[in-house]
Structure 1
């Protein structure tokens, strides 16, 4: 096993990389591709990552950064419009894919890279942190953007997606993303897909990339605020009176409120473990995230097997992503903040995998990273710059090791699936493209989407 190597540090900001000899292929001035390490690739193409993040003076703690992420007014910036496509899966569940720019609004090349974004716990495409990245990524090149296409995978029941089955989502369940990637590739066969995950969505993305290895349809990933070791982070939060009562209870209540929004839909579902759980879930008083996970997520947060789990602890151990980093075979950049009040354990060893780099900033809170803007009291998200540089680099310079994926087809009944895939449950049907969605704030709640 290789030895951990710290590639770069400045003050308290550091970049951790594995010591394995993994290399990636990138374009060069010569006709032949150049082989390089991930650390050198980042140094040459993501300069913002090596400039220390300095928080705005009035947001100088992880708690303040996180609070501003939740309660700040972002309705007038990073406006993103979407076209929504609903997918129905074999288990009856529904996932919403929000594409930007909306179909027909402006022409985007068929081979333009696609940023596949995954939101936080109970969030969606409206979240400010999602829009901050996508607004820059999909802006036309002549206007200073990347000219890419974006799509947000909204989990079951989130962001107005209907709840239509007895299965929930979870931090470790990857099949909904797996199906979404197949559909996106089916709709845009010439495009390369790159993942950007936030918090819980980052955990899902990393587990998917690790499970797929070289066959990952996401050719590279960027993970922001990933919870990594969910078990130990849960222990840490529950052991603190402040963290438990401020953060854990807010996140737990958000899941309960999300389910209550779908109470009428749940009442129409056939009897299942979920419908039997629902009265118990709604009866919880000021529940922590652990309470909700122990009641709901560990039982119906994914397929059987491995669900249900005997305890929330068992689910947390299974669903964590830090222990799968060794299986990642596409370039992965992760960024966490050392003062994140929700994530206290990060994998400095990055799985001893040269395909993985972890940048740890001294500040930034959970999905914050707000620095001072040009005007008094104005702030901007520092993290957007290195993420956009990363997306530009992997989209324009990276030469993926594999582009010849398993073909995708639609059968006579309208089910879309990979050819010869032995798992029939991974197929999907399109319910249709919906009206344009204005991706702005409005799905409020304490710590919504984190």
Structure 2
């Protein structure tokens, strides 16, 4: 009466087995979870901190997630490429919009309008002593799905959440000034922080930055010791620390890095085009390069300095960061005076973009040569990247608990066989309040967790960040 398995079409049989698998996972999770754990297996994240640090010992013990295995999605979660692509395409799964927040606007002296979203936890707002300041990745905003899942989890745990929107990132808001966000600019974040501090003058802050947001947050905290006193702790997730070093690896086809470089470039270019009526003038003439670096020469110089320059090697003898950062070999110096958003104070240094070449760019290095460094007033891309680097200011943060998270399979911020990992490792070795966590999987900002195909809505990094914030805040009351 029923056909044998051999008589079934192989595709039908495959679909049948796949549906059976999904059904079993959904309604009988224990079996497949056991197989996932023991056959493919999760892994505990690697944790690094200064030997003998009693503070870090206590924080690690108060974060159960650091004692557990991180188990990514069963079928695809062990590929950093797939995690990164899924994050870029989908963001997070089963995300529900958060309602009830309030959006504030802040006007700046150059005519720009900044926006931030403030989410209050349930219950009495005055009883919430802690506010999490979140700085998202490049071109992202409070509309990004991973911002929603983190915010939902943090609100459920009793935190107030402030979501910083990069200038120009909100799709429904037009620019009112002649600029967008810059890679390492802290002026806009400072204006929003000051505005929110007046609304909640007694709150204690927790700073969290994702990718580029981690670089901006590091610079923001490192440049002002008085500001750091208002913070309980800070966390940086998947940031690259040094643009010069990262860009030298992204211009390589190894591990498909050039592919990711192209995707990021096109996304940023689309971002600029969306605001072209404000950012770009009507002129279409290309700008001559004269004394500035040409496209080819810029790439050659950047590659040479990133691989051969001894300044990128960490100093193993660094003992007192606050006193030695000026001579630390990781520190780059940039000529010229710039404001906190990375715009030249001398307006004559600002140049119009090279429009003809801008429309044909295929890498971030090209985009920054023909657009970013010109509108900001830098003489070369090398100077732009030197100014953007957060390393000098990272070493100034020696009086605040800091969590740094990178992944072993991040295709953008590559740790394996590169010098990037030396930066956070050197920092935590000489800072008794710093913690470096490196899970085996997670990709770039993915950190999807659980499930066979469809992962949990709340990601592994969401849980880690909230547990870390709770542990540090508990330190103040214990």
What TM-score results when the alignment is normalised by the length of structure 1? 0.72
Separation in structure 1 between the aligned mates of residue 98 and residue 245 of structure 2, nearest angstrom: 36
Output the CA distance in 2 between the equivalents of 1:276 and 1:309.
9
Counterpart of 2:166? 155
Question: Is the contact made by 2:405 and 2:437 (CA closer than 8 Å) also made in structure 1?
Answer: yes
TM-fit CA distance, 1:147: 1.8
Aligned residues of 1:298 and 1:312 also touching (Cα < 8 A): yes
Residues 1:255 and 1:212: Cα distance change in structure 2 (over 3 Å) = same
Deviations 1:374-431 (A, max 9, x none): x76334521222111112223343369xxxxxxxxxxxxxxxxxxxxxxxxxxxxxxx
Match of 1:292 among 345, 363, 367: 367
Whose helix proportion is higher, 1 or 2?
A: 2
Matching residue of 1:431: none
Unpaired segments ≥5 residues, structure 1: 1-9, 22-35, 139-144, 302-307, 401-450
Q: 1:225: which partner in 2?
A: 238
Q: Cα distance, 1:199 vs. partner?
A: 0.4
C-alpha spacing 1:208/1:367, structure 2 compared with 1 (3 Å): same
Q: State the Cα distance separating 1:91 from its structure 2 match.
A: 2.4
Structure 1 residues 273 and 54, CA gap change in structure 2 (3 angstroms): farther
Picking from 186, 200, 203, the partner of 1:188 is 200
Distance in 2 separating the partners of 1:229 and 1:77: 33
Indicate which of 209, 215, 222 corresponds to 1:197. Answer: 209
Larger relative strand fraction: 1
Residues 111 and 192 of structure 1 are in contact (CA less than 8 Å); yes or no, is this contact kept in structure 2? no
For residues 151 and 73 of structure 2, the distance between their equivalents in structure 1, rounded to whole angstroms, comes to 23
Once the two structures are superposed, residues 361-382 of structure 1 have per-residue CA deviations (whole angstroms, 9 ceiling, x without a partner) of 1111000111223x76334521
1:320 maps to 2:333:
no
> Structure 2: how far apart are the matches of 1:278 and 1:187?
39
**Among candidates 233, 256, 265, match of residue 269 of structure 2:** 256
User: What SS class does the counterpart of residue 232 from structure 2 fall into?
Assistant: strand
Residue 121 (structure 2) pairs with residue 43 (structure 1): no
2:401 aligns with 331
Q: Quick one: which of 90, 94, 97 aligns to 2:116?
A: 97
1:267-322 deviation per Cα after TM superposition (whole angstroms, max 9, x unaligned):
699xx889963562784224311112222333445xxxxxx322222222332223
Structure 2 counterpart SS, 1:158: coil
Scaled by the length of structure 2, the TM-score of the pair is 0.68
Give 1:369's match in structure 2, choosing from 438, 447, 464: 447
In structure 2, do the counterparts of structure 1 residues 355 and 378 end up closer, same or farther at CA, with 3 Å as the change threshold? closer
Give the CA deviation at 1:130. 1.7
In the alignment, which residue of structure 1 is the partner of 2:139? 122
Name which of structure 1's ranges 323-332 and 242-251 shifts more when overlaid on structure 2: 242-251
Residue equivalent to 1:265 = 278
Which residue in 1 is equivalent to 2:71?
A: 54
CA distance in 1, matches of 2:434, 2:225: 13
Once residues 150 and 12 of structure 1 are traced to their aligned partners in structure 2, the CA distance between those partners, rounded to angstroms, is 28
Q: CA deviation at 1:148?
A: 1.7
1:83 matched to which residue of 2? 102
Structure with greater Cα Rg: 2
Shift of 1:112: 3.1
**Aligned pairs (5 A) from 1:413-428:** none
SS, match of residue 114 in structure 1: strand
Residue 317 of structure 2 is aligned to residue 239 of structure 1: no
Q: 1:356 aligned to 434, 445, 449, which one?
A: 434
